[in-house]
Amino acid sequence: MKVRLLFVLLILILASDSQSQVELVPVDSPVYDYFLRMKNLGMLPEYNPGIIPISREATAHNLKTIESVNKKLSSVDRKLLSDFMVEFSYDLTGTLDKRASLFKTTKHIFSDDKQKDLYGYADSNATLFLDALGSFSQRESRGDSIGRHSISLGELGIRVRGTLYNSVGYYLRASNGQKLSGDSADVTFARNTDPKLFAQYKFQFEQNNFDTFDGYLRYRTPGNWLALMTGRNPVYMGFGFTDRLFLSNNTAAFDYLRLDLAYKAVAYTFMYGSLRGDSLGREIDAKNIATHRLDVMFSNSFRMGFFESVISANNPFSFTFLNPISFLTSAELNKSSQPGANNDNNSLMGLDMLVNPVKSLAFQGSLLVDDLDFSTLFKDNSSITNKFAWQLGAMWENAFTLPNLRFTAEYTKLDPFVYSHVSNETEYTHWDLPLGHHLQPNSDEIAFGLEYDITNRINLSLLYQHQRSANGIVTDSLGRVIVNYGGDINNASGYSKSDPEFLKGNRIDRDIITANFSWQFLRQFYIDIYYVHRMINNIYQNQKFNDDYGFLTLSIDY
């Protein structure tokens, strides 16, 4: 009897261990690409890339799963795993043995076998990790349409995170950036090539400083069946390989409430958030988003997701869309009164699937429907009220028999007016940048990518994109819109008078080559080189342009 009681007591003590870190892993962590690779190789079949980020405790669980099949890994993957095992050592073991606190000693400042923090603390009830962030970025451009620019940016910040009582995670990252050299035209170049800087009115008007932050509180129940979160943090939804149709990294993070439910093969996420918006340059009082996603894993090789979103404007709060268990499209059609016209809200829904038919291969298909109207679906004016975007992609790990080489191919098509809205207030944007895919409406793209882990610390990626698009608005002598070709996400004026036709309008073709080189030359010290070459063919003007721009960034993170 005493042995049994001792055993139960031991289980309770272990269950209350604070090593279960509830906070989320930042979306730009390379661990997500690593998990996707392991999923495609059949070593992490339960991983869901359809919604990111995930918690540190879930990350630790995934790393343990991969560690159990360590012998099947390539030499580079094994070294990557070793790096991640050090980075997430506390989440894996509950000890600080592989972490170094620089406030206590500086002898590990250039250590390559310990994860460094300014300060780290852990006991049975709480953890706290304080980190410093710093970067220097030199950015240059030259070209026919982009012009010649040169700007230097410096940024310093802090990050504090931890978990309280094994249930509540907290996170705050705040930074201040400074223009070190460059003029107002260079600032415009920097903003137009970096969503983080574009979402900075301070940087636009003061021309010197920019500030960013992410922060949240997150509670989750024992067993991880429910989690509640409030704050600001990037979130991605969708299975897209080169870009996502639903929620992507093409704009800045927004503030939201979030609910997560999970049981075995089913996961559900609901979010209600606040967006930055305007109407053709005029600021609006409020712009909100309600969105949810249901993921079902039917087998280790087949997963499907259902997505919905409603954008509303000039209504600071709506209980209709705050309901986490609802059919948002139906709720929008049957909503209680709100200011403005009855169709001012913009509703979208989507389906996507991810298939791993054999080891090393993955295929994804995504469909987005903007303002679906069944009554006109099969009529002559169907394209006015029903707008579609779709995507097909393929991914091949260890491509061409070369270990750690990934090949990706993906086609994306957006109908005219997709993501936009006739009200010009509820377009699917945040800070005038798309929440979904980077393409403007009335466009398509075929993309081919190569990504290669040369070593566990050196990564090289190449991406080629061929894009076709059409835009333009025709007005009469009084400035009234006669035709809108539906190629501007922020302007759907004259939408009801138009007869949308794919690629009708002012045609522009683009060929874009992007190269990225990343080197972690010492743990938590990074060099990144980013280069873009654009060939633009303005067919409607019979003009061609060539542009080049690039970033050289040095950064530290500890």
Q: Pick the closest to residue 131 from 163, 107, 161 (CA basis).
A: 161
pLDDT digits (tens, 9 = 90+) for 484-506: 999 999 999 888 777 889 999 99
Tell how far CA 297 is from the center of its chain.
21
Cα 502–Cα 291–Cα 425 angle in degrees, nearest 5: 60
53 preceded by cis ω (within 30°)? yes
Answer yes or no: is pLDDT of 332 > 80. Answer: no
Distance separating alpha carbons of residues 130 and 488, to the nearest angstrom: 43
Of the listed ranges 87-96, 195-204, 252-261, 262-271, the least confidently predicted one is 195-204
pLDDT digits (tens, 9 = 90+) for 345-383: 899 999 999 999 999 999 999 999 998 766 655 555 555
- Per-residue confidence band for 320, with pLDDT thresholds at 50, 70 and 90: confident
Confidence (pLDDT) at 477: 86
Answer yes or no: is pLDDT of 439 > 90. Answer: yes
- Per-residue confidence band for 16, with pLDDT thresholds at 50, 70 and 90: very low
Answer yes or no: is pLDDT of 396 > 70. Answer: yes
Rounded mean pLDDT, 465-479: 93
Q: Pick the closest to residue 436 from 413, 448, 419, 421 (CA basis).
A: 419
Interstrand relation of 282-283 and 226-232 (parallel, antiparallel or unpaired): unpaired
pLDDT digits (tens, 9 = 90+) for 41-77: 999 999 999 999 999 999 999 999 999 999 999 999 9
**DSSP helix, strand, coil percent of the chain (3-state; round to 5):** 20, 45, 35
**3 state SS of 260:** strand
- Per-residue confidence band for 340, with pLDDT thresholds at 50, 70 and 90: low
Answer yes or no: is pLDDT of 117 > 50. Answer: yes
Q: E strands of 195-283, at which residues?
A: 209-220, 226-232, 236-237, 255-263, 266-274, 278-279, 282-283
Rounded mean pLDDT, 266-287: 89
Question: Which tokens hold the place of 414?
Answer: 């957006």
Looking at the chain, the whole-number percentage of residues with pLDDT higher than 70 is: 92
Confidence (pLDDT) at 6: 39
Tokens 């950064």 belong to residue: 555
Q: By the 8 A CB rule, do 292 and 260 touch?
A: no
- Per-residue confidence band for 35, with pLDDT thresholds at 50, 70 and 90: very high
Confidence (pLDDT) at 494: 85
Alpha helices in 381-506 (DSSP H): 382-385
Rounded mean pLDDT, 443-467: 99
The set of residues, in sequence order, having a beta carbon less than 8 Å from that of 483 and lying 6+ positions away, is 473, 474, 494, 497, 498
Which domains does the chain carry? 17-557 (2.40.160.10)
pLDDT digits (tens, 9 = 90+) for 150-164: 999 999 999 999 999
Answer yes or no: is pLDDT of 385 > 90. Answer: no
Q: Pick the closest to residue 393 from 29, 59, 36, 46 (CA basis).
A: 36
